[in-house]
Structure 1
Amino acid sequence: METLPRPGLRERKKQHTRNALLRAALELFFAQGYERTTVDEIAEAVDVSQRTFFRYFAGKEDVVFFTHSVAAAHFVGLVRTRPPEEAPLEALRQAVLEGWDGIGEAVGEIVPVELHLRTYRLIESTPALFATHLRRSAELEEEIARVIAEREGLDVDLDPRPRVAVAVFGGVIRVTERLWSAGGDISVAAIRELTASYLDTVRPVLAEGWHTG
Structure 2
Amino acid sequence: MGTSRRTVGDMDADETEPGTAAVADRRLLRARRTREALATAAVDLILERGLAATTVEAIAERADVTRRTFSRYFTGKEDAALGFVRDDGERINELLRARPAGEPPLVAYRRAVRAWLADRHTPARHLRPRMRRIVGLLDEEPTLFAAYERIRVDAQEESIRIIAARLGTDDVRDLRPAVVVEAAAGVLTAALRAWARGPDEHGGPHAPGDHAGSGADLADLVERAYDVLSTEAASAAVHTEQPRTTDE
Q: Please report the TM-score for the alignment, with normalisation by the length of structure 2.
A: 0.70
Distance 1:136 1:112, change over 3 A: closer
Q: Give the C-alpha shift of residue 106 in structure 1.
A: 5.2
CA contact (8 A) 2:116 2:124 kept: no
CA contact (8 A) 2:133 2:200 kept: no
Determine which structure has the larger helix proportion and give its number.
1
**Cα distance in 1 for residues equivalent to 2:92 and 2:116:** 6
Q: Which one of the candidate residues 8, 21, 25 is aligned to 2:42? A: 25
Which segments of 5 or more consecutive residues in structure 1 lack a partner in the other structure?
207-213
Figure out how many residues of one structure are paired with residues of the other and give that number. 205
- State the AA in 2 paired with 1:180: W
Q: Give the C-alpha shift of residue 82 in structure 1.
A: 0.7
CA RMSD of aligned residues (A): 3.1
**Cα distance in 1 for residues equivalent to 2:83 and 2:146:** 16
Residue by residue over 1:88-133, the C-alpha shift from the partner in whole angstroms, topping out at 9 and shown as x without a partner, is: 111111001111222771566xx98224443312333311111232
Structure ID, larger Rg: 2
CA contact (8 A) 2:117 2:124 kept: no
**Cα distance in 1 for residues equivalent to 2:127 and 2:104:** 34
Quote the residue 1:157 is aligned against: 172
**Residue 68 (structure 1) aligned with residue 95 (structure 2):** no
Summarize the alignment of residues 70-85 of structure 1 with structure 2, pairs less than 5 Å apart: 70-85=87-102
Which segments of 5 or more consecutive residues in structure 2 lack a partner in the other structure?
1-15, 202-212, 235-248
CA contact (8 A) 2:160 2:181 kept: yes
**Residue 180 (structure 1) aligned with residue 186 (structure 2):** no
Among the aligned pairs, what percent are the same residue?
Answer: 33
**Residue 50 (structure 1) aligned with residue 67 (structure 2):** yes
- State the AA in 2 paired with 1:155: D
Q: Give the C-alpha shift of residue 37 in structure 1.
A: 0.5
Quote the residue 2:138 is aligned against: 123
